[in-house]
Structure 1
Amino acid sequence: MLCHCLAYQRTLVTWVRDHRLHHKYSDTDADPHNSSRGFFFSHIGWLLVKNHPEVEKRKGLVDMSDVYANPVLMYQKRNAKWLLPLISFGVPVGIHYMLGESFSVCWHLNIVRYMLDSNLTFLTNSLAHSWGYRPYDKTMVACQNFPLLLATMGDGFHNFHHAFPWDYRGAELGNGCINHVTKFIDFCASKGWAYDLKVASEGVIRNRMKRTGDGTDLWGRKMVEF
């Protein structure tokens, strides 16, 4: 929750709701960052305008009972007005200021950090829904994008993520040292902080690739046979 505050991307309650809408109604008017409305809209434009009426209509139908039952997430929601700016701007600027940097340098470096972090996140909604390959389901707009994978430390296997949204790895093999997001979850699991982790079986993945994929493997290379 504190790491999410550092990113300053609204509250986790709102983030989870919008992400569930995004998966249930991907690239339609009920998707908050519908990529069919253009690259700019899916990247950042959706945050600059009012929600489409379909989003407003559908968001009340999303089951959020698990989120509302989580005291940590609800604490963030209740205290977002001071907690998010404090963690995202106050703490990092204050730490660097105490280490001897001028306030101007501390502030502007943190602004650059925030801009880079935000835009890398937004690329998952825009770039990963406009350019790449689709080894798991060629009918989906979401695609694999290797440059984005490197830039986000693991969040570029987007066609897999949409084909198997319940697979915690977000990638077919977890993808070793490339996917730091999965490695972080694995670390939490080793400490007992994460549990009941679900994965798609190898058979299910291969059958899905054969049935609906575009003929590439998870790295975008053409497959001779399955």
Structure 2
Amino acid sequence: MDLSNKMFSEIPMVFSYHWNLGNINWLMTAWTTWAHAVAFVGLFKIMDCRKETLIWAFLLWPISGIGITVGAHRLWSHRSYSAALPVRVFLMLCNSIANQGSILHWARDHRVHHKHSETDADPHNAMRGFFFAHMGWLLLKKHPEVIRAGKELDFSDLHEDPVVMFQKKLDPWFALYMCFVFPAQIAVRFWGENFWTAFFVAGGLRYVYVLHCTFLVNSAAHLYGDHPYDIMSHPAENPYVSFFAIGEGWHNWHHKYPFDYATSEFGISSQFNPSKLFIDMLAAVGLVWGRKRGTAAWDMGRARRERDRKAGVPLPKPVSRPWEATAVKGGIEIVHWKPTAGVKRVRKV
């Protein structure tokens, strides 16, 4: 379900269900718990930090962020533009600081997500609720349909990219070093910070913060916002998510035109999108080329929608979320909701 008190109150029930079925991914659960514990320690270390370390941790937010948005997402997952080798190497390093799995793994899951969005084959299917889409999908074993769908797609372009495969060969040790140790070493070397203070703040706390910024694209941007481009698509235009995810919140446009390098209709002056600006800056100096846009397709789609409106053709309506589908029978409201499998609840109205 969506973000609510009820969602939190029913997490134990859902956990118990998956525990009994043996669905829990214990390795990822342990890792996620450890990372959040490190971030929690980092919160108490903030007051011990030098101001340079706090600035460094803040800068690592967009630095690691573009490794996901400009790199793993727009370049390697969607091939929405082409980049020179130095750019690909730089983005790989930024992506390693983000430490959200290898580029190969990230792009594989994301391509499956787009091809089978909000179905059982979607790795973070938002039809299963906010918490599952946000981070619950990492704590459970993959649905069999996700595994099947992943085997059907072609990832040869990723395997042929030496930058992607270099990172994959060193996974996870290189990413762990770049995420936690490297930021601390920079702080120690250049302004004499205590290693462990920088480790917990610029490493752990910053890591978990960026992690949740990315998670919001899968959860909040699939549940809250406007749908000006595709009324049948649940992914939405969410400016708040776009702020935290440095431009990735314009999700209705992105799911309509996933090949668009900007992932938004407008430029930086109208829609907050630092990732697009960064790509445009690289293009201006010849390090990026072949930027793809969906604006021409949208112009044709908008004209067709306007013709239908004038002809009196009603707009289609999207399918309700599982927890939104209700029916009233004999004074009883039957709520069909499947946080696990086959759960049907009733309440008096």
Common topology (TM > 0.5) = yes
Question: Alignment partner for residue 100 of structure 1, among 192, 212, 218?
Answer: 192
The counterpart of 2:231, out of the listed 124, 138, 142, is 138
Q: Residue in 2 aligned with 1:25?
A: 116
Aligned equivalent of 1:216: none
Aligned to 2:205: 112
Distance 1:159 1:199 in 2: 15
Contact 2:236 2:251 in 1 (8 A): yes
- 1:196 paired residue among 268, 279, 290: 290
Unaligned stretches of 5+ in structure 2? 1-91, 307-349
Query: Aligned residues: percent identity?
Result: 40
2:311 paired residue number: none
- Residues 1:210 and 1:47: Cα distance change in structure 2 (over 3 Å): farther
Provide, for residues 125-148 of structure 1, a one-character-per-residue CA deviation record: whole Å limited to 9, x for no partner: 000000100000011110001111
Greater RCO (Cα-Cα under 8 Å, separation 6 or more):
2
Task: Report Cα offsets for 1:172-200 as digits up to 9, x if no partner.
Answer: 02333721100111122223332211112
Say whether residues 1:90 and 2:184 are aligned partners.
Answer: no
Q: Which residue of 2 aligns with 1:223?
A: none
Q: Secondary structure at the match of 1:60?
A: helix
Question: Letter of the aligned partner of 1:28 in structure 2?
Answer: T
Asked which structure has the greater CA Rg, the reply is: 2
The answer to whether the aligner puts 1:15 opposite 2:106 as a matched pair is: yes
Matches within 5 A, 1:173-184: 173-176=266-269, 178-184=272-278
Residue 163 of structure 1 aligns with which residue? 256
Question: Which one-letter code corresponds to 1:88 in the other structure?
Answer: C
User: CA shift at 1:57, angstroms?
Assistant: 0.6
How many angstroms apart in 2 are the aligned matches of 1:127 and 1:212? 27
Q: Which moved more, 1:80-89 or 1:94-103?
A: 94-103
| TM-score (normalizing by structure 2) | 0.58
1:50 to 120, 141, 147: 141
Cα contact 2:239–2:272 (8 A) shared by 1: no
One-letter code of the match for 1:23? H
Aligned counterpart for 1:69 among listed residues 142, 160, 166: 160
The CA RMSD measured in Å over matched residues stands at 1.6
Cα offset, 1:210, TM superposition: 5.7
How far apart, in 2, do the equivalents of 1:82 and 1:212 lie? 51
Aligned length: 212
Q: Which has the higher strand share?
A: 2
CA distance in structure 1 between the partners assigned to 2:225 and 2:283 by the alignment: 31
Q: Which moved more, 1:47-56 or 1:93-102?
A: 93-102
Please tell me whether the aligned partners of residues 268 and 277 of structure 2 are also in contact (alpha carbons under 8 angstroms). Answer: no
